[in-house]
Amino acid sequence: MDTTLQDPLVGQVLDGRYRVDARIAVGGMATVYRALDVRLDRVLALKVMHPALAADGSFVERFIREAKSVARLAHPNVVQVFDQGTDGTYVYLAMEYIAGCTLRDVLRERGALQPRAALDILEPVLAALGAAHRAGFVHRDMKPENVLIGDDGRVKVADFGLVRSVGSVTSTTGAVLGTVAYLAPEQVEHGSADPRVDVYACGVVLYEMLTGEKPHDGDSPAVVLYKHLHEDVPRPSDAVPGLAPELDELTALGTARDPAARPYDAVALLAVVLEARAALTDAQLDAVPPQALAAGHDIAEDRTSVIPRSLTVPRPLPFAEDDDGMLRTSRFEAEPVPERRRGGRRPRRGPVALVVAVLLVLGVGTGVWYINSGQFTRVPPLLSKTEAQATARLKGAGLDVKAVEHAYSDTVRRGTVISTDPAVGERIRSNDAVTLTISDGPETVTVPDVQGRTPAGARALLKADGLAAGMVTREFSDSVPKGTVISTDPGAGSKRHAGTAIALVVSKGSPVDVPDVTGDDLDEARQELRQAGLKVTVSATEVNSEYDQGQVARQTPAGDARLAEGDTVTLTLSKGPETVEVPNVVGATVDDAEKLLEQSGFQVKEDRGLLGLFGNTVKKQSVDAGEQAPKGSTITITIR
């Protein structure tokens, strides 16, 4: 059954602009519709807050925060927000419409994905989250439902409704807001939310894509939360034998229970993902997964929820730190350990790989000779390592550092390796040297003063300074000429990373009070509106009204509205009053006559005089029967 037929919003036009055509999805906070922007003739998605929540200031604030946050990102892998507004009890966001499905739909239909497909989805997701993290925002509710996959193959991240500034606290009232299956341990235990909670959630999503099932399950949310706190995410290869060990390591790194052991944001994780992909063969990337494991999973676990902290029991766990500063279990245990530590578990290695790993840790270069007969080796993985870690790893491989260079980077953390020369994985003679390029972090840019410039001029100046133009809003101004920039957000002089989107506020000029010209002749109405600085257009449709033919029956916008100088007022002319045929009521009783005349659309007036004070029969009517009279006019009946 088509439930959209029962939705009162379907078929309505919100805010005089957005025609609601169909319901797409319903969530706990809002309903999403497919709609048409009748002004721009553009199909879009309309996210409408449930009216019951619109009275709650905190929900409305979160809703508006989503619009402002996403509008500043301007990233190709983030669902764009075009507009935000209200119409009566409805609070809405107008957003980019993506024809396609969600990652959850794909997982329900196909179960586990091939590693290549999983990485093809994960990389744009991390790019989108990386843009948010570098702009100072944390998504906090990453899950397959919020990953949209378009019919054209585009991947976009949606639903920034729980977005918070980096370093903010999710809850201070004993509750955690999020989706149980994807909550990081620190969200459950402390309510803290920095970019690493999104990294954790992406690690869980990666596990789910590779295996078709969530890493932690249970009979209740409390059980799942407990497992997040006290159990590591399993290796994907435990569920899908044959998966490459690099995928196990990548999952363990992203889902490390200790946030310090995870990449510090999505950009850093993306760098690791790209390095891992480069290390995989085509056969490993295209490994065929087993039959889908996701069918029949608990839909309730996928919903964003408020989780009481009483469901969680924090407990300290042991850690171990290895040579590159990451928290991991020992790589060289001969016997299996009873519990994997929080930094993630390395895959088991064969005897040769174990010997090579031990020799490298000990700093003995003969481990490379064991494979390459002592002549050649390959540049080891160094991307995203600190200079000290990279130097140690090179020395362990029997290589030296030739030089250290520096460069700005918007995607690689300050103080870590951007690139090497020769590149990672290239053959190099033993005892040769490698040049390291270290990131100085993103180049900061000063927001220029664009007040008084046209929007095109402001965009050009922002682009020249390494910034981007974001959402444009318009406001009245008595001091700034119409069509030029009043201000920016953030303001001029602020420091921002290169590529940051800057919102523009453009002047609509001084406000003009629209005069009321209904009832005026067309020429008089035109003259009055033009003298007020407004343009006039006349509708091709005329309507019946109380005004004479050719006079203004109505105007849009109405009198007393405020417009900018040069805006247009549309006039609709009158065809005159609607006329109807007068019925014959002579000889009828007074009650019957009045009833018949009123049903025909007339007002009725009684004329009794002295002779009709006690009469009850109509002897005469002011307009003869059969004649036409304006609907709503008054017919006088004489009673005797």
Query: In this predicted model, what pLDDT tens digit does every residue of 561-605 receive, in sequence order?
Result: 889 888 899 999 999 888 899 999 999 999 999 999 999 999 999
Only one residue has tokens 């060990």, namely 245
Query: Which neighbouring-strand residues pair with 305?
Result: 178
Q: Which residues are catalytic?
A: 141
What is the reported pTM?
Answer: 0.48
Residues 472-475: contacts with CB within 8 Å, 24+ apart? 472/503, 472/504, 472/505, 472/506, 473/503, 473/504, 473/505, 473/506, 474/505, 474/506, 474/507, 474/508, 475/505, 475/506, 475/507, 475/508
Using one digit for the tens of pLDDT, what is the confidence trace for 66-119? Answer: 677 777 777 889 988 888 888 888 889 899 998 888 999 889 888 899 999 999
Comparison of pLDDT for 71 and 424, the residue scoring more: 424
Per-residue model confidence (pLDDT) at position 449: 95
Backbone angles phi, psi at 199, to 5 degrees: -60, -45
3-state secondary structure of 461: helix
Q: How confident is the model at residue 612 (pLDDT cuts 50, 70, 90)?
A: low
C-beta of residue 146 within 8 angstroms of C-beta of residue 29 = no
Give, in order, the Cα–Cα distances in Å from 549 to each of 412, 529, 541, 544, 559: 72, 20, 13, 8, 20
Contact 633, 591 (CB under 8 A): no
Q: What pLDDT score was predicted for residue 288?
A: 82
**Residue-level pLDDT at 290:** 67
Least reliable range by pLDDT among 168-172, 363-367, 412-416, 558-562: 363-367
At 212 the three-state DSSP class reads coil
pLDDT of residue 311: 40
Which residue, 331, 328, 358, is CA-closest to 341? Answer: 328
pLDDT on residue 408: 84
> Given this model, what pLDDT does residue 542 score?
92
Q: Catalogue the E-assigned strands of 252-399.
A: 304-308, 376-378
Length of the chain measured in residues? 640
**Per-residue model confidence (pLDDT) at position 322:** 34
Question: Residue 608: pLDDT band by 50, 70, 90 thresholds?
Answer: confident
What is the spatial distance between Cα 75 and Cα 383, in angstroms, rounded to a whole number? 24
Q: How many C-beta atoms surround the C-beta of residue 375 within 10 A?
A: 10
Mean per-residue pLDDT over the chain, rounded: 80
What pLDDT is stored for residue 161 in this prediction?
53
pLDDT tens for 474-527 read: 899 989 998 999 999 999 999 887 778 899 999 988 899 999 999 999 999 999
Provide the pLDDT confidence category of residue 362 given band limits of 50, 70 and 90: very low
What are the chain's domains?
A: 1-97 (3.30.200.20), 101-348 (1.10.510.10), 351-439 (3.30.10.20), 444-448+458-507 (3.30.10.20), 511-573 (3.30.10.20), 579-639 (3.30.10.20)
Q: How large is the average pLDDT for residues 27-37?
A: 86
Element (H, E) at 434: strand 433-439
Sign of the torsion formed by the C-alpha atoms of 315, 321, 327 and 329 = negative
Q: In the structure, what pLDDT confidence band is assigned to residue 367 with cuts at 50, 70 and 90? A: very low
Angle between helices 266-279 and 195-211 (to 10 degrees): 30
**Can you give the pLDDT at residue 178?**
53
Give the number of C-alpha atoms closer than 13 A to the C-alpha of residue 192, restricted to the C-beta side.
10
Percent of the chain predicted with pLDDT > 70: 83
- Average pLDDT of the residues in 343-362: 35
Tell me what pLDDT residue 536 has: 95
Is residue 293's pLDDT more than 70?
no
Give 543's strand partners. Answer: 574
